[in-house]
Chains A and B, each alone.
Chain A
Amino acid sequence: MSSRHFRLGFIIFLTPVLLWLLTLIVIPHIDLLIASFQAENDQGKLVFSQENYRNFFTDSVYWYTFVRTAFYSILVTVITFLLTFPLAFYITKIASKRLGGFLSMLLLLPFWVGELVSIYGWMILLRESGVINYILLGVGLLHKPVPLLYNDFSMVLGLVYMSMLFMVVPLISALESLDDSLIEAASDLGASKFTIFTRIVIPYAAPGITSGAIVVFMLVLGDYLSPNLLGGKNSLWFTEQIYNEFIASFNWNQGAAFGFLLLLLSSAIVWLGLRMSRQRLDKAVGA
């Protein structure tokens, strides 16, 4: 009786979880794969075809956008790391406990406010009639406004801005557990600052660095708002290609193929990062 009761409870718990994972994760991704291998024939019927992938490899615009997106995602990940690592070190090792706690709390705020609002803020700051130009003209550093918006610079800036939190949190938690006496001992034994950083701090923080890099790379690769609102007319992002196929051209099969390629790239990088740092997925994403 008690065991049957228990099994019933188990099924009640299992069913919604299975429904969630099957209907919203597994089946849609199988559908995505199938749709990517279908195209309309001359009679307008959907048949098996490799056309969508052939288009990707033969049309240089698609190729170019894909490589460009991957390249800029790596660049943004590196810049984000270089910018947030000194900050994480300051918060965990230099600032007093109270100041460090306060500073790390402040970091969270722009994240909660959301990407769209921050991007809007950057648009107001950067555009020709924007606040930065107004100030630079006002103090006499410029004679006429410079266009700072709608180019690769502003796009990268927006992407770095929205990624910083996802890099700095794993860095802080990695550096927090680094025992100060290791650094003190190395210094007592005559190691230079540079040696301490490259031989102790960086290797110790390596798992945190990989976690941050994986999440940032994936988010940047799949971002739509920054490239779309801050990037220039010619600065295409691969998610925009997907959007164009789905919403503008209404060629869902082509869009599905692009989506699948993006998923492949993102999964490959995540897998590579995990292999290199010998971590499990759930540990790496912060669980």
Chain B
Amino acid sequence: MIRSMPRSLGYRIGYAIFVILFYLFLFAPLIVISVLAFNDSQFVSLPWNGFTLDWFFADGPDRVGLFHDPELLHSLWISVETGLIVAALSLVVGTMGAFLFVQERFCCKEPLYFLAIAPLVIPGVILGISILLTATLVGDWIEKTTGIDLEFLRPSFWLVILGQFSFIATFVLLVVISRLKKFDHTLEEAAMDLGANRWTVIRRITIPFLMPALVGSFVVAFLMSFGNFNTTLFLVGSDATLPIELYTQIRDGSTPVLNAVSFLLIVFTSGMALLYLLLSKKE
């Protein structure tokens, strides 16, 4: 039944078939996307008509590849920018929160901690609409009283960043907290005894200790922002992120260019995930 006990042949074969089918199910969509990104056909379907790189590099007039599609490239760039800003912002605030919850004692710490992890169990759609409501309310009020229309309170690039940050910070917080709890405080005390002040201790001892968690959570935060759809849907303005742009195009019908984009995403995110795994292995 388990690896240390004798198992019947039927049990072993049955289990092996199940596991193989499971992984086939898991990777089937990614494999067909990747294969059809190189198919020399106008349609995203079999039969296989031969290998081509047109869906990446063609420059018209019949076929326009991904690298000559201004809308897709623009949304890709918006997503990268959004991801970097959200990851940086979440890293700073999440780390500050981790220090607060692990090292400090203050009133209302428990309810505040509960609030900080609540975004994990709030559906993304709800975060999106509630932030949209509040931003609009505040934006309208400011416009009425001062006559200034603040663009970041309307569906826009910056509102998307606020919306994604609102729950991605929680993930950074949790990752850094679990690392910080393993921290040996005698290291800090020793440094203080040797004459280091608090900022030197943080810079020279605490931050280096936290580094793997910080880099890891930055990568995760970037990927979460990069792939986010539910929250972004309600906050996006004229600058569509890649998932929003892809969604619009997929809804309207598929072209091999979409396979090319998806293929690049598969390669890119696997690379990032691998990087993250290597980092956490070291830890």
A interface list, Cβ under 8 A from B: 5-6, 9-10, 13-14, 16-18, 20-21, 23-29, 31-32, 35, 83, 86-87, 90, 93-96, 103, 105-110, 112-125, 129-131, 134-135, 161, 164, 180, 183-184, 187, 193, 196, 214, 218-219, 221-225, 228-229, 239, 242-243, 246-247, 252, 255-256, 259, 262-263, 266-267, 270, 281-282, 285-287
Contacts and interface: CB of A to CB of B under 8 A. Distances in A.
Contacts, number: 253
A135 to B, nearest CB: 8
Contact of B123 (A117, A123, A222): A222
Contacts of A242: 125, 129
Interface in B215-246: 223, 226-227, 229-230, 233-234, 243, 246
Interface string B30-48: 1011001000000111110
Contacts of A105: 277
Given A17-B97, A27-B134, A114-B243, A109 B2 contact: no
A27 B118 CA distance: 14
B2 A180 contact: yes
Say which size band chain B's interface belongs to. Answer: 35 or more
Contact of B273 (A14, A32, A112, A119): A112
A248 to B, nearest CB: 13
B258 interface: yes
Contact of A124 (B29, B229, B234): B29
Given A94-B15, A125-B28, A267-B121, A32 B129 contact: yes
**Chain A contact surface mostly:** helix
Interface stretch (B65-73, B144-152, B162-170): B162-170
A192 to B, nearest CB: 10
A96 B117 CA distance: 36
Contact of B45 (A18, A23, A119, A129): A129
Contacts of A93: 2-3
Chain B binding surface SS class: helix
A120 B45 contact: no
Nearest to A267: B121
A221 B116 CA distance: 22
Given A24-B166, A83-B22, A109-B270, A116 B247 contact: yes
Listed residue (A131, A242, A267) with the most chain B CB atoms within 10 angstroms of its CB:
A131
A217 B220 CA distance: 22
Interface stretch (B54-62, B80-88, B99-107, B203-211): B99-107
B100 to A, nearest CB: 5
B93 interface: yes
B121 A87 contact: no
B187 interface: no
B270 A17 contact: no
Contacts of B180: none
A263 B262 contact: no
Given A10-B100, A242-B129, A267-B121, 11 more contacts: A17-B96, A31-B137, A94-B7, A106-B23, A108-B277, A112-B227, A112-B272, A115-B229, A124-B259, A266-B121, A285-B120
